Structure 1
Amino acid sequence: MAKHKEVKDGIIFPIGEKNEAFSQYFKGQSYLQTLVSDENVDVGVGNVTFEPGCRNNWHIHRDGFQLLLVTGGEGYYQEEGKPAQFLKPGDVIVTHDGIKHWHGATKDSWFSHIAITAGTPEWLEPVSDEWYSNLEKN
């Protein structure tokens, strides 16, 4: 049974549509609701929601950054060479320019965060099932 199913109801911000535009960079189903889309604002702001077990590929933000404001459920954030961080509502992550990282839901919980992003993402390899499964054991 999945924990935090209320996240899919979009309690704070709408869950949005299935994230088809970026689906090739995710393992599992994610949803995206754009919150700020203004050509005069040089950052993107969106509510990203992950079904249980969903995570994005390793990636890097070039010439920019990413801020994650966790709004629901349980998830992980990991920078290359560092242990994964368990995330819960209220947590804030700052990813600086050029840092390889990934983020997503735990295997049994929905997860959502507001992503504030500047620069260009460089999408890399998926987080393997073996790597992800080992996180759950810790």
Structure 2
Amino acid sequence: MHVIEPSSTAKNPPERFTGDVWLDGIATPQEDGQRMVVARVRFAPGARTAWHSHANGQTLHITSGVAWVQQRGGEVIELHQGQTVYTPPGEEHWHGASADRFMEHLAMFEYGDDPASSTTWLEHVAHEDYRPPRG
């Protein structure tokens, strides 16, 4: 057993995010064969990821605030504290805070065979795609 010292909070890059988004790493592989990555990610109101997909899927657990998520071609879904959403491998999606609330989630995924290509980053979310859910 060993204690893993926390790394510094990192601000996510504007090439992959719109608005202010901060990441605190929680878990990364410690032994050969491990692939799990977990991070706490905090979004300012209106902040969001670019479209992206994950080689082995991704699970998000909302810990505070209001999240908006959307799969490519689907409707925007609103999530609240305590809710969890799963996106399967290769599914293009985005996620972020609602327009007027901060949001924090735990992001969990497994590295692919090449950790550098575990996430495929695409274009920024168009203004018309970033909107509240219908209904």
**Given the two structures, how large is their TM-score scaled by the length of structure 1?**
0.80
The structure richer in helix per residue is 1
Structure 1 gap segments, 5+ residues each: 1-13
Choose the corresponding residue for 1:46, options 36, 39, 44: 39
Partner of 1:55: 48
Partner of 2:19: 28
Give yes or no for the alignment of 1:77 onto 2:69: yes
Q: For the residues of structure 2 that align with 1:122 and 1:25, how far apart are their CA atoms?
A: 10
CA deviation map 1:79-116 (0-9, x unaligned) = 11110110100111111101010000011000010000
Larger of the two Rg values belongs to structure: 2
Task: Give the 4+ runs in structure 1 shifted more than 6 A.
Answer: none
Asked if the contact 1:75/1:104 (under 8 Å) is kept, the reply is yes
Asked if the contact 2:51/2:92 (under 8 Å) is kept, the reply is yes
Structure 2 gap segments, 5+ residues each: 1-5, 113-117
Cα distance, 1:74–1:137 mapped onto 2, change above 3 Å: closer
Q: For the residues of structure 2 that align with 1:61 and 1:30, how far apart are their CA atoms?
A: 19
Partner of 1:136: 132
Aligned length: 120
Cα distance, 1:26–1:81 mapped onto 2, change above 3 Å: same
> What is the RMSD of the two structures over their aligned residues, measured on CA atoms?
1.8
Q: For the residues of structure 2 that align with 1:28 and 1:97, how far apart are their CA atoms?
A: 26
Q: For the residues of structure 2 that align with 1:52 and 1:126, how far apart are their CA atoms?
A: 16
